[in-house]
Structure 1
Amino acid sequence: MSRTSTPVLIVGAGPAGLSAAIELTRWGVPVDVIDSAEESNPQSKAFTIQPLTAEWLSSIGLSDDFQERCVRMRSMDYRFANKTDKIARLDFEALADTRHRYVMAIPQSTTEALMRGWLSAHGVTVRWGTTLRHARQDPEGVTAVLSRSDGTTTEVRTEWLIGSDGLRSTVRGLLGLKFEGTTYAGRTRMMDAPVADLKLDGDRIHYLIDEAGMLLLSRLPGDTYRVLLSEPGGTAPTDRVIAQAEFQRVLDRHTIGASIGRPVSTSIFTIWRRDCPGYRRERIFLAGDAAHIHSIAGGLGLNAGVQDGINLGWKLGLVAMGSARPSLLDTYEQERLPLDAQVMTVADKLHRILMDHSRPLADRIALVEEPHFLETATSRIAGLGYTYRDVVEAAPDAPALADLAAGDRAPDVPLEPRGHARVHDLLNKNTGYTLLTLHRSQPEPATLALIDRIQRRYRGRVHPVTLHTSTPAACGAGSGSRPAPPNVHTVYGAPDTDVACLIRPDGYLAGRVPISRQDALLTHLEAVLT
């Protein structure tokens, strides 16, 4: 048996593991990524990238690559059989405070390939055909035993291990953690196939719903469509020709005049709702489907896994580099477990509307017609409607400001009238925290002294950005401040005081206080960073 070592071992090369690997690599932490599969899965599986994930892709320089390979979807449209004159539209173009007012339709295989490409360009490659057999941890690290398909074994000593190995997680099993929940009734079949003469918009995801089932139609890059059929229980044929004919009969039932061509792929699967009671045991973490799995309704699963990887990745990156205190890692489970529960609740409600065929259609329509359902569901599917504010501790003894609070996502508002430059452009220039101060006129000397102090103390881990509404001349030479339109101050600032916002590496607020209480943000930084 050979022996080797690595700072971080990631088990599972799906979206959760790859996003964690990318974040760790950004922080300069060497990682090893293994997967028991012999090669990447060519199946498209999940196919939607939400705006929140798109914001992260922009921050790592992958936005253009995804844009070239996706179809932008302006909305998700629910069409009920007895509501032919009315479409319940989840309109992503109505989203505020983001430049990504759309969902990207892109096969999961392409998403993973692009993420692996980023890692490869930074010297990290996935080791396929490598299986975790055993893991034993102690106060200093984890000893893992890996086997390859050729029969060779390797003992790996690692400081940290991330289990992102999916529904049947080996890591979760080795930890002895339960994965309890329920199985949704009904059967779900999916195919990717060409669709001709479809009279529905190609830049919207369509859900055709009647008493007999739900049919999803979404254009994919190239000449194919994702066609998904949810029906009451029963067996289903796997033969592609028979499946094509059955899907065609459902299309005909909805009288939309389209025809399905020969499928590129077909599958049938079960939908579960399960979760794990914890995401961490000492030096071993769980992420993605290894920790939680829920209904496919809304396309939330892949994105939730990516957000797990981002949240864990930047925190572990700081700790592994000795730049943050180990207690920062406690916040991974504290934040993601309740937020993933929120995602699960949203997916469950969408499932009841779209795929619960035991529920009368009138009851499902009533759920859609509840006040504010469309706006709330759109925001949650986009990923922008979630917050950590219930678990992120606000600055102690600092007066609370209205609206934005610690734990909220930093809104991406325009920095200029035409909207080309936005707040996230300031955040994406560097890894690390951003100290954003907003001034109604010239920054006070105390603020400039604070910025100088932070730059000296944290050496690039905190990046100051100073914005003002007054003219450059009024702001004074050498202040380092830049002008910003009133809308930025409306969102981040306050009408009666200058404001300081501390924004985390993942784009969420660590604190927002009157600038006179900037010491509270310093206290937070001292508690987190070394």
Structure 2
Amino acid sequence: MSLDVLIVGAGPTGLLLAAQLARHGIKPRLIDQQPQPSTTSKALAVFARTLEIFDNLGIAEEAIKHGRKLYGANIHDDGKRIAHLSIDKIDSFFPFVLSLPQSETERILAQLVESFGVKIERPVTFTTLEQDAEGVTAILRHADGREERCRAAWLIGCDGAHSNVRKAAGLNYQGIDVQALFVLADIKSDWNLSTNNIQVFFSSSGVLAAFPLPGENNWRLIANLPPDTELPENPDLQLFQQLTTERSGLQAILSDPVWTSSFGIRQRIVDKCRAGRVFVAGDALASHSPVGGQGMNTGLQDAYNLAWKLALVIKNQAPIDLLDSYQAEREPVSKFLLLSTEWATRAVVQSNPAIKFLRRLLAGVTTSFAPVQRRITNTLSELNVNYRNSPIVQEDYPLPWLSRSPKAGVSVAPLKGARAPDVLVQTDKGQQRLYKVLINTQHHLLLFGSKLPKYPKLAQIAQEIEGKFPDIITVHIVLVSTKIAEELQWQGSTLLDPQGECHRRYGASSESLYLIRPDGYIGYRCQGADVNKLMAYLQKVNLT
């Protein structure tokens, strides 16, 4: 079949999926029904985990250049600041939220896609599909009215909450409507507020959130309205001036509304993420309240999760069953977000005095204790997303839950399915972040030596794995040392860990191994660096 993958929808999810497939050597076809890319800001928040993905794609610096770094959030109630949530202590080399208009995110991703020789075809409308055991035939309509039958091995719907792909595939999209109405504006505001922090104002009349945007005095304002209000289609400057004054208590002067909108909250999720050879991702898979800013980031992770699996299957390096893990891993993430954002939305719009008292209490408690604040900010930054219950992750590690740090009280050894920690190591190019070492699209095997490493054993394992899986696994031997010992007969990658920090973060107090998937999550770990157990795992998931 000449076309491996047809992607419908060139928003952030579809663009990232196209780019990542191209990096894996699979050139997709990417279409969108809109004649031009989005010009409005829409989704703003780019969290740390997304920036790590962007960094792997080589576009993080470009995104940061055009965005604004936000290091925390100030929470106010009746004109007084009652709490501060700090983001700059999260477990990432990107300890901030990047405020970046979605139009800029799409522009940067589109440039990346086009650099791989993938054309974004506009306007091309998907209308319906037919599929069989070998592939999918999509019926497409072009701007001149011409109808095309496009045959592809796989079809991915990244076409938003009103997805035509989802409907044509027969996937049910169910959920609830939350009784909450909001208006938003991208606007200029002259007030004395930090442009490095999000501001949230609670008052007796409702909530107002203010997000600094790139540029001078540029802000995104979001405010709720009473549930019985008729939503204005195009909220005007006067409304936002009134809401800002009464809810913040500040004498702000608003001007130049670039974009205004209004919306209700519809929580929806598909009953299945896949129908035969058709997948959905992003808002086509699940849509939820924008409180917390998780939507776009979650869609990008959908794409990042699916891309490497689809590429291995297309290249006959893994069985088609591997694709079943997409739903097993991403559906729980979306379900958690539906519940958490629904709860958060109801909490912020409630004017009940009891809820208001509880909200103040929780704000104080959650920001007063560092472990609680760290947990919240790592979760918001999507660093705590994990696939521990996935059928394709495994560990041979004795009593993993007992591996605790006496200082921090947190798990040292990351569990199976967790995001792999990013730490500094020494390479032949000097000091580098581990994620920079794991830059290619293969699996990466970290072989940790003990304080008295058995060099012949480590070299034998490394040579055996790279010999059997040359196109799938890159091996790195990690040593607590300042130099490579002559006894190590290994010509491949050796990472030096002089202070033992990498060993500590991976709980490698003795010989152990970690297999890091192409999406940066731990597929397998074993204490004892047992190659036979590793081979048994690789056979179980049928990587060839």
Provide TM-score, normalisation by structure 1: 0.93
Over 3 Å counting, the alpha-carbon distance change for 1:505 and 1:400 in structure 2 is farther
Amino acid at match of 1:446: K
Query: Is the Cα–Cα contact under 8 Å of residues 462 and 477 in structure 2 kept in the other structure?
Result: no
Q: Is 1:339 the equivalent of 2:350?
A: no
Q: In structure 2, what is the equivalent of residue 43 of structure 1?
A: 40
SS for the counterpart of 2:447 is strand
Q: In structure 1, what is the equivalent of residue 534 of structure 2?
A: 521
Alignment partners' CA distance in 2, 1:289 and 1:516:
41
User: 5+ unaligned residues in a row in structure 1: which ranges?
Assistant: none
Q: Is 1:93 the equivalent of 2:93?
A: no
Alignment partners' CA distance in 2, 1:46 and 1:415:
35
Alignment partners' CA distance in 2, 1:326 and 1:238:
46
Give 1:1-400 correspondences, 5 Å limit. Answer: 5-81=2-78, 84-87=80-83, 89-96=84-91, 98-196=92-190, 198-223=191-216, 224-233=218-227, 234-238=229-233, 243-253=236-246, 254-357=248-351, 360-369=355-364, 374-395=373-394, 399-400=398-399
Deviation at residue 5 of structure 1 after TM alignment: 5.0
Matched positions, count: 518
Query: Is the Cα–Cα contact under 8 Å of residues 438 and 493 in structure 1 kept in the other structure?
Result: no
SS for the counterpart of 1:33 is strand
Query: Is the Cα–Cα contact under 8 Å of residues 456 and 489 in structure 2 kept in the other structure?
Result: no
Deviation at residue 449 of structure 1 after TM alignment: 1.4
Query: Is the Cα–Cα contact under 8 Å of residues 503 and 510 in structure 1 kept in the other structure?
Result: yes
Amino acid at match of 2:501: N
Alignment partners' CA distance in 1, 2:486 and 2:213:
50
Q: Is 1:502 the equivalent of 2:483?
A: no
Query: Is the Cα–Cα contact under 8 Å of residues 232 and 357 in structure 1 kept in the other structure?
Result: no
Alignment partners' CA distance in 2, 1:466 and 1:112:
38
Alignment partners' CA distance in 2, 1:288 and 1:237:
27
Stretch of structure 1 that moved more, 445-454 or 271-280: 445-454
Alignment partners' CA distance in 2, 1:413 and 1:52:
15
Q: Is 1:492 the equivalent of 2:506?
A: yes
Over 3 Å counting, the alpha-carbon distance change for 1:397 and 1:260 in structure 2 is closer
SS for the counterpart of 2:321 is helix
Query: Is the Cα–Cα contact under 8 Å of residues 89 and 95 in structure 2 kept in the other structure?
Result: yes
Alignment partners' CA distance in 1, 2:78 and 2:431:
42
Over 3 Å counting, the alpha-carbon distance change for 1:275 and 1:357 in structure 2 is farther
Deviation at residue 370 of structure 1 after TM alignment: 5.2
Over 3 Å counting, the alpha-carbon distance change for 1:69 and 1:85 in structure 2 is closer
Alignment partners' CA distance in 2, 1:266 and 1:187:
14
Deviation at residue 33 of structure 1 after TM alignment: 0.9
Over 3 Å counting, the alpha-carbon distance change for 1:493 and 1:369 in structure 2 is same
Over 3 Å counting, the alpha-carbon distance change for 1:261 and 1:506 in structure 2 is same
Q: In structure 1, what is the equivalent of residue 409 of structure 2?
A: none
Q: In structure 1, what is the equivalent of residue 466 of structure 2?
A: 455
Deviation at residue 268 of structure 1 after TM alignment: 0.9
SS for the counterpart of 2:358 is helix
Alignment partners' CA distance in 2, 1:355 and 1:329:
40
Deviation at residue 365 of structure 1 after TM alignment: 2.6
Query: Is the Cα–Cα contact under 8 Å of residues 92 and 378 in structure 1 kept in the other structure?
Result: yes
Alignment partners' CA distance in 2, 1:112 and 1:491:
34
Over 3 Å counting, the alpha-carbon distance change for 1:284 and 1:446 in structure 2 is same
SS for the counterpart of 1:157 is strand
Alignment partners' CA distance in 1, 2:281 and 2:42:
18
Query: Is the Cα–Cα contact under 8 Å of residues 433 and 505 in structure 1 kept in the other structure?
Result: yes
Deviation per residue, 1:112-141 (Å, 9 max, x gap): 111011001111121111111121111111
Query: Is the Cα–Cα contact under 8 Å of residues 13 and 164 in structure 1 kept in the other structure?
Result: yes
The one of 412, 416, 440 aligned to 1:406 = 416
Amino acid at match of 1:58: D
User: 5+ unaligned residues in a row in structure 2: which ranges?
Assistant: 404-412
Alignment partners' CA distance in 1, 2:484 and 2:396:
35
Amino acid at match of 1:79: H
TM-align CA RMSD: 2.2
Query: Is the Cα–Cα contact under 8 Å of residues 10 and 17 in structure 1 kept in the other structure?
Result: yes
Query: Is the Cα–Cα contact under 8 Å of residues 414 and 507 in structure 2 kept in the other structure?
Result: no
Alignment partners' CA distance in 2, 1:516 and 1:33:
43
Query: Is the Cα–Cα contact under 8 Å of residues 447 and 529 in structure 2 kept in the other structure?
Result: no
Deviation at residue 257 of structure 1 after TM alignment: 2.8
Higher relative contact order (CA 8 A, sep 6+): 1
SS for the counterpart of 1:120 is helix
SS for the counterpart of 1:134 is strand
Deviation per residue, 1:427-482 (Å, 9 max, x gap): 11x11100001112334322211211222222232111111113426563544533
Amino acid at match of 1:515: G
Identity %: 29
Alignment partners' CA distance in 1, 2:252 and 2:432:
42
Query: Is the Cα–Cα contact under 8 Å of residues 393 and 406 in structure 1 kept in the other structure?
Result: no
Alignment partners' CA distance in 1, 2:25 and 2:485:
41
Alignment partners' CA distance in 2, 1:236 and 1:293:
20
Query: Is the Cα–Cα contact under 8 Å of residues 398 and 517 in structure 1 kept in the other structure?
Result: no
* Structure 1 runs of 4+ with >6 Å offset: none
Over 3 Å counting, the alpha-carbon distance change for 1:194 and 1:443 in structure 2 is farther
Provide TM-score, normalisation by structure 2: 0.90
Alignment partners' CA distance in 2, 1:266 and 1:424:
39
Deviation at residue 155 of structure 1 after TM alignment: 0.5
Alignment partners' CA distance in 2, 1:239 and 1:499:
59
Over 3 Å counting, the alpha-carbon distance change for 1:503 and 1:305 in structure 2 is same
Amino acid at match of 1:235: E
Deviation per residue, 1:64-86 (Å, 9 max, x gap): 1101100001012222227x142
SS for the counterpart of 1:24 is helix
Deviation per residue, 1:323-352 (Å, 9 max, x gap): 222111111011000122122233223223
Query: Is the Cα–Cα contact under 8 Å of residues 49 and 103 in structure 1 kept in the other structure?
Result: yes
Over 3 Å counting, the alpha-carbon distance change for 1:437 and 1:516 in structure 2 is closer
Alignment partners' CA distance in 2, 1:236 and 1:514:
58
Query: Is the Cα–Cα contact under 8 Å of residues 171 and 275 in structure 2 kept in the other structure?
Result: no
Amino acid at match of 1:217: A
Alignment partners' CA distance in 2, 1:61 and 1:276:
32
The one of 412, 424, 427 aligned to 2:438 = 427
